[in-house]
A and B are shown apart, each in its own frame.
Chain A
């Protein structure tokens, strides 16, 4: 029954994605057909012009009496022309009997083969040259041959032939194929997110509620009704009817029981769990809806990732001292603002409500991005990034708060997973599309587009984030300074912060946000390509983070995962010391993604284990507040240190040094925890933090 409905919902998703895939692929194929159809005549005209130009020169030489076979330097001249025209496969000169005398690009026997296979066109080409087509089977490299007779009138001393490269247009098309694939993949993900958002209220959440209700009733639990809404309204009504029947009967029994009431009730409770006759339905709380607005917000913000430090660097007058450090400053300012403002904004968001704080955050961030799009210099650019950071912090506390307000301990992990999942998907999508757009439209336009996306998020947010917080979780309650101070007295906590938490965030911002764009730009790699490389970071997190977290929890491998994750991140940068090229950067990005996926959730788990006493004393909020603040300060330091290292060593070499530092910290952490131990004292506090929350 349940699987039947699940299959139907899956079919709706698959069908929609298939329609988009086919439509986009059809569009791309049509465009490429047009490409070939419109460019082929132009290429033929060009090839013919080359043939005529070379023919004129050769004819002049022949008319001057130079013997045909003794034309010195012909091959070199042909090779030079070939070097300038990638659409030409060969240039050859044949004697009147058809023997290939001079050739460049292809060997004489291959040229002879192509000339024999060529079939002349019934309709002449655009000029005085003659054209022949070559079948793919006969010559896979040559598509057409243009020939002109040399000399003027009388007996021709020979002919010039130029072969057109068959795959030239394919090569041109392939240059944009990856971009189009990226656009296609991103559009599929955006549609997927939109569908989740729309179907949440009508199908997904009612189905989940329905499934839970079936399980409850099968267990004999008639304590709750479900809200009859969306597609499954009729089924929910029937189930609620059963619940009401049982509860009415139980109430009637209770009413009749009189003095024996308590004895009867305990007997009833032994057999099943009744509610009251008027058991109210629990409101639907589709916290998944927060995914779309989080996704859109983060998408708008992260569009600039492939070029931000390079853009900042370009805002400074040429020859500015410490240019590379200035380039990292906007990122550091952003991170620091987020770190410092978030604890202050939590209580404001609690008071103002989630809708107001999200809308304020999205508008504030959009204003920051518009300011960045029209900035005059590095000073105001940094200021606009700070404005965006305040908006970012507001969005974060509003969305996280909305999830916490609308979940209980039992379903909070799922809610936070939806929120964090949206951030990860946007990390996958935004850099790719941001790179493509900035290559075509310029960086400033991309900031403006990001602002537009954020305003769209704000508009959607106002419709779905309603009401003031219903309940607040300890994990986000503002914390007192005393509690933070207490946590900092714990040596294990300090080691965890200094050797694991700070290096992890430091490596992330230094490498992903600074080194990748700056280093790849120094290799003359396009922003679209930089965006594609940046996309790779999110893949290990999306695919493997939850698996690693489960492993760590099940086998108690949190310490091992944190140490190993740090070592993998650090080791991934080391190839850049020896091979400072794009492939080494790709290895670094994937290793960082993998290392972070391994270590971030277990880090949180370790915090709760090492600080169990402090958590028991004052709740998890204080410890976590300290932890978040310190690690975000590490994130703020990353780009500045990377900039300073870049100034001394160059960006890619700087990554190698960062790798050594990260690796050394991971080793230090591992040794320290091997010596000190984790000291698990109170397991009851471990579940305070769920795995997905850890990644936020």
Chain B
């Protein structure tokens, strides 16, 4: 009986705890991944901003993006800021790659999602990228800049975090199971001892300690007495007859 009820109580406790720990880990992982992405992309966005500032300063002088002789120098200088940068690309508004610095990419042209105005971020199975559109003095987007960086670092951190949180959730469920079982064992045994002492207290022939036992015994003996008296009355009546 003990074991059965103990296990029956602990089972949903562990199940719900495991679920809650899972949701807990899931929420934390989601926030961690978003913050890490924000921090990492902001770092590489610095390179993109540097290129954008340098190139647009020249565009403001009336130069054409495709014929910008200083562009390569700007790209190399800004890429040096973060050595882990894979490559920096400048492309025209139709997606043609005009300048690049760093590791050669397999990209023949800028993907469509890079062509939007303002700041953006994108990713493929090989790389992650942040970038921005390049605007001439008339406010027209004439192309863009993209900074490609490897996925490995973030993926590694995320995978380590995922592993740690999964293990933590499993430990949480296990610890809950162990402590619940131990505690439940102690508490249920205590309850059983109380039940046994109550049973002994209620039992016939024992000296009752609890008020309820005394009251019950009093009520029972009162009823027994009443019945006995009636038996006597009945017997007396039978004699008379």
- Give A contacts to B, CB under 8 Å: 1-2, 4-5, 8-9, 11-12, 15-16, 19-20, 23-24, 26-28, 30-32, 34-35, 38-39, 42-43, 45-46, 49-50, 52-53, 56, 84-85, 87, 172-173, 175-176, 179-180, 183-184, 186-187, 190-191, 194-195, 198-199, 202-203, 214, 217-220, 222, 231-232, 234-235, 238-239, 241-242, 245-246, 249-250, 253, 256-257, 260, 264, 267-268, 271-272, 274, 433, 436, 440
Indicate if the CB atoms of A5 and B81 lie closer than 8 Å: no
Indicate if the CB atoms of A231 and B169 lie closer than 8 Å: no
Q: Enumerate B24-68 residues with CB–CB distance to A below 8 Å.
A: 24-28, 30-32, 35-36, 39-40, 42-43, 46, 49-50
Indicate if the CB atoms of B24 and A24 lie closer than 8 Å: yes
- Nearest-Cβ distance from residue B173 to partner chain A, whole angstroms: 8
Using A43-B39, A49-B81 as known contacts, say yes or no to A27 and B223 having CB atoms under 8 A apart. no
- Nearest-Cβ distance from residue B145 to partner chain A, whole angstroms: 15
Indicate if the CB atoms of B213 and A24 lie closer than 8 Å: no
Q: Taking CB as reference atom, which chain B residue is nearest A7?
A: B194
Indicate if the CB atoms of B226 and A195 lie closer than 8 Å: no
Q: How far is the CA of A257 from the CA of B66 in the complex (A)?
A: 122
Q: How far is the CA of A271 from the CA of B227 in the complex (A)?
A: 10
Specify which chain A residues have a CB less than 8 angstroms from the CB of B160 in the assembled complex: 38
Stretch at the interface among B14-22, B96-104, B123-131, B132-140: B14-22
Give which listed residue, A8, A16, A190, A264, contacts B194 with CB less than 8 A: A8
Using A190-B16, A191-B12, A239-B202 as known contacts, say yes or no to A28 and B24 having CB atoms under 8 A apart. yes
Indicate if the CB atoms of B183 and A15 lie closer than 8 Å: yes
Indicate if the CB atoms of A38 and B20 lie closer than 8 Å: no
Looking at chain A's contact residues, is the secondary structure mostly helix, strand, loop, or mixed?
helix
Specify which chain A residues have a CB less than 8 angstroms from the CB of B26 in the assembled complex: 440
Q: Taking CB as reference atom, which chain B residue is nearest A232?
A: B195
Specify which chain B residues have a CB less than 8 angstroms from the CB of A184 in the assembled complex: 20, 24
- Nearest-Cβ distance from residue A256 to partner chain B, whole angstroms: 6
- Nearest-Cβ distance from residue B119 to partner chain A, whole angstroms: 10
Specify which chain A residues have a CB less than 8 angstroms from the CB of B224 in the assembled complex: 245-246, 249
Give which listed residue, B49, B183, B191, B210, contacts A1 with CB less than 8 A: B210
Q: How far is the CA of A31 from the CA of B40 in the complex (A)?
A: 20
- Nearest-Cβ distance from residue B40 to partner chain A, whole angstroms: 6
Indicate if the CB atoms of B219 and A264 lie closer than 8 Å: no
Task: Report which residue of B30, B210, B219 has the largest number of chain A beta carbons within 10 angstroms of its beta carbon.
Answer: B219
Indicate if the CB atoms of B172 and A4 lie closer than 8 Å: no
For B169-208 the 0/1 string (1 means CB < 8 A from A) is 1001101100110011001101110111011011110000
Give which listed residue, B16, B25, B192, B216, contacts A27 with CB less than 8 A: B25
Q: Taking CB as reference atom, which chain A residue is nearest B179?
A: A19
Q: How far is the CA of A27 from the CA of B51 in the complex (A)?
A: 44
Specify which chain B residues have a CB less than 8 angstroms from the CB of A246 in the assembled complex: 220, 223-224, 227
Give which listed residue, B36, B168, B173, B219, contacts A30 with CB less than 8 A: B168
Indicate if the CB atoms of A187 and B19 lie closer than 8 Å: yes
Indicate if the CB atoms of B230 and A42 lie closer than 8 Å: no
Indicate if the CB atoms of A187 and B17 lie closer than 8 Å: yes
- Nearest-Cβ distance from residue B163 to partner chain A, whole angstroms: 11
**Is B141 part of the contact surface with A, judged by Cβ < 8 Å?**
no
Q: How far is the CA of A31 from the CA of B20 in the complex (A)?
A: 14
Specify which chain A residues have a CB less than 8 angstroms from the CB of B23 in the assembled complex: 183, 433, 436
Using A12-B187, A187-B20, A238-B203 as known contacts, say yes or no to A194 and B13 having CB atoms under 8 A apart. yes
Q: How far is the CA of A24 from the CA of B210 in the complex (A)?
A: 41
Give which listed residue, A4, A194, A234, contacts B199 with CB less than 8 A: A234
Give which listed residue, A19, A30, A31, A42, contacts B13 with CB less than 8 A: A19
Specify which chain B residues have a CB less than 8 angstroms from the CB of A35 in the assembled complex: 28, 31-32, 35
Indicate if the CB atoms of B227 and A268 lie closer than 8 Å: yes
Specify which chain B residues have a CB less than 8 angstroms from the CB of A176 in the assembled complex: 27-28, 30-31
Q: How far is the CA of A23 from the CA of B20 in the complex (A)?
A: 10
14 more CB-based (< 8 A) A-B contacts, given A24-B20, A268-B227: A4-B198, A16-B183, A34-B32, A34-B165, A49-B43, A50-B46, A84-B42, A176-B31, A184-B20, A184-B24, A191-B12, A242-B220, A256-B234, A436-B27
Specify which chain A residues have a CB less than 8 angstroms from the CB of B109 in the assembled complex: none
Q: How far is the CA of A2 from the CA of B191 in the complex (A)?
A: 12
Using A15-B187, A34-B164, A176-B28 as known contacts, say yes or no to A24 and B17 having CB atoms under 8 A apart. yes
Specify which chain A residues have a CB less than 8 angstroms from the CB of B176 in the assembled complex: 19-20, 23
- Nearest-Cβ distance from residue A428 to partner chain B, whole angstroms: 16
Using A1-B210, A24-B20, A27-B172 as known contacts, say yes or no to A217 and B12 having CB atoms under 8 A apart. no
Indicate if the CB atoms of B13 and A191 lie closer than 8 Å: yes
Q: How far is the CA of A23 from the CA of B183 in the complex (A)?
A: 14
Task: Report which residue of A53, A56, A186 has the largest number of chain B beta carbons within 10 angstroms of its beta carbon.
Answer: A53
Indicate if the CB atoms of A46 and B39 lie closer than 8 Å: yes
Specify which chain B residues have a CB less than 8 angstroms from the CB of A32 in the assembled complex: 28
Give which listed residue, B21, B32, B157, B237, contacts A24 with CB less than 8 A: B21
Q: Taking CB as reference atom, which chain A residue is nearest B209?
A: A1
Using A31-B165, A253-B234 as known contacts, say yes or no to A239 and B184 having CB atoms under 8 A apart. no
5 nearest A-B pairs in the assembled complex, by CB-CB distance = A187-B20, A194-B12, A31-B28, A1-B210, A8-B191
How many Cβ-Cβ contacts under 8 Å join chain A to chain B?
A: 234
- Nearest-Cβ distance from residue B224 to partner chain A, whole angstroms: 7
Specify which chain A residues have a CB less than 8 angstroms from the CB of B151 in the assembled complex: none
Q: Taking CB as reference atom, which chain A residue is nearest B180?
A: A19
Indicate if the CB atoms of B223 and A272 lie closer than 8 Å: yes
- Nearest-Cβ distance from residue A240 to partner chain B, whole angstroms: 11
Q: How far is the CA of A38 from the CA of B153 in the complex (A)?
A: 12
Specify which chain A residues have a CB less than 8 angstroms from the CB of B231 in the assembled complex: 253, 256
**Is B142 part of the contact surface with A, judged by Cβ < 8 Å?**
no
Indicate if the CB atoms of B36 and A198 lie closer than 8 Å: no
Using A12-B184, A42-B39 as known contacts, say yes or no to A242 and B216 having CB atoms under 8 A apart. yes
Give which listed residue, A27, A219, A253, contacts B169 with CB less than 8 A: A27
Indicate if the CB atoms of B223 and A271 lie closer than 8 Å: yes
Q: How far is the CA of A4 from the CA of B193 in the complex (A)?
A: 11
Q: How far is the CA of A272 from the CA of B31 in the complex (A)?
A: 69
Give which listed residue, A50, A187, A219, contacts B16 with CB less than 8 A: A187
- Nearest-Cβ distance from residue B88 to partner chain A, whole angstroms: 14
**Is B211 part of the contact surface with A, judged by Cβ < 8 Å?**
yes
Using A1-B212, A84-B42, A217-B216 as known contacts, say yes or no to A234 and B195 having CB atoms under 8 A apart. yes
Specify which chain A residues have a CB less than 8 angstroms from the CB of B184 in the assembled complex: 12, 15-16
Indicate if the CB atoms of B230 and A268 lie closer than 8 Å: yes
- Nearest-Cβ distance from residue B162 to partner chain A, whole angstroms: 11
Give which listed residue, A12, A238, A268, A272, contacts B191 with CB less than 8 A: A12
- Nearest-Cβ distance from residue B134 to partner chain A, whole angstroms: 18
Q: How far is the CA of A218 from the CA of B222 in the complex (A)?
A: 10
- Nearest-Cβ distance from residue B196 to partner chain A, whole angstroms: 7
Specify which chain B residues have a CB less than 8 angstroms from the CB of A173 in the assembled complex: 31
Q: How far is the CA of A142 from the CA of B66 in the complex (A)?
A: 45
Indicate if the CB atoms of B5 and A231 lie closer than 8 Å: yes
**Is B107 part of the contact surface with A, judged by Cβ < 8 Å?**
no
Q: How far is the CA of A317 from the CA of B149 in the complex (A)?
A: 38
19 contacts between A and B (CB under 8 A): A5-B195, A5-B198, A8-B191, A16-B183, A19-B13, A20-B20, A24-B17, A32-B28, A49-B46, A49-B82, A53-B46, A173-B31, A187-B16, A187-B20, A198-B8, A231-B195, A238-B203, A260-B237, A272-B226
Specify which chain A residues have a CB less than 8 angstroms from the CB of B237 in the assembled complex: 260
Specify which chain A residues have a CB less than 8 angstroms from the CB of B50 in the assembled complex: 53, 56
- Nearest-Cβ distance from residue B31 to partner chain A, whole angstroms: 5
Specify which chain B residues have a CB less than 8 angstroms from the CB of A87 in the assembled complex: 39
Indicate if the CB atoms of A52 and B81 lie closer than 8 Å: yes
Specify which chain A residues have a CB less than 8 angstroms from the CB of B212 in the assembled complex: 1-2, 214, 218
- Nearest-Cβ distance from residue B231 to partner chain A, whole angstroms: 6
Using A5-B195, A43-B39 as known contacts, say yes or no to A180 and B202 having CB atoms under 8 A apart. no
Q: How far is the CA of A213 from the CA of B49 in the complex (A)?
A: 81
- Nearest-Cβ distance from residue B3 to partner chain A, whole angstroms: 12
Using A19-B183, A38-B160, A218-B219 as known contacts, say yes or no to A231 and B191 having CB atoms under 8 A apart. yes
Indicate if the CB atoms of A198 and B191 lie closer than 8 Å: no
Q: How far is the CA of A46 from the CA of B237 in the complex (A)?
A: 108
